[in-house]
Amino acid sequence: RKILIITPANLRKQWHQELIDKFGLHATILEAKNYNAIVKAGNKKPFEQDTPIICSYQFAKSKSKDLEEIDWDLVVMDEAHRLRNVYKTNNVIGKTLKEALTHVHSKILLTATPLQNSLLELYGLVSMIDDRVFGDIDSFRSQFSGAGSKNSFESLRARLSSVCQRTLRRQVQPYVAYTARRAI
């Protein structure tokens, strides 16, 4: 299976180790140095590997044409809140990745901090997965921005149900040992 994991550069090795420890999967961390070595060795498609590929957001953006050429079975984007403003013209990484991965049907966006300022950030994240969920930004604004009624919130919740899974801390506490923090 063709799996791509895009993560902040400082989390690439952690993802690599977690895939080994939790799933027994050996992945390839792709970065400029080994990418260039693979190309120099004659492989014109360095992303075409038999293992999951892990790369940074910056690297993925710089190799967006390569990403378009692969029929990915799954793309995982960690710390996806970085993409929440993809609808804004100045979010170059988000826009580039959205366009490069449009053909991918299975995408997972992972984030612990999805929304901070407005519902438009939710629009941005969902549009990374599927542009058709909310339509264009003007349609989203007219339906869900502003004061909002109970009906509009229910409609929003219904539309999100097919693309969003929110997991609360209390739901995973039986499986994850959280550090007890006490303010002194």
Q: What is the pLDDT of residues 106-145, one digit of tens each?
A: 999 999 887 777 888 999 999 999 988 998 999 898 888 7
Indicate whether 69 pLDDT > 90. Answer: yes
Residue-level length of the chain: 184
Distance CA(45)–CA(37), nearest Å, equals 12
The stretch 81-94 carries a mean pLDDT of 91
List beta partners, residue 53.
4, 28
pLDDT number for residue 148:
63
pLDDT number for residue 56:
98
pLDDT number for residue 124:
92
Determine the angle formed by the axes of helices 119-129 and 150-160, rounding to 10 degrees.
30
How would you class 26 by CB atoms within 10 Å of its CB: exposed for 0-12, middle for 13-18, buried for 19 or more?
A: exposed
List beta partners, residue 107.
75
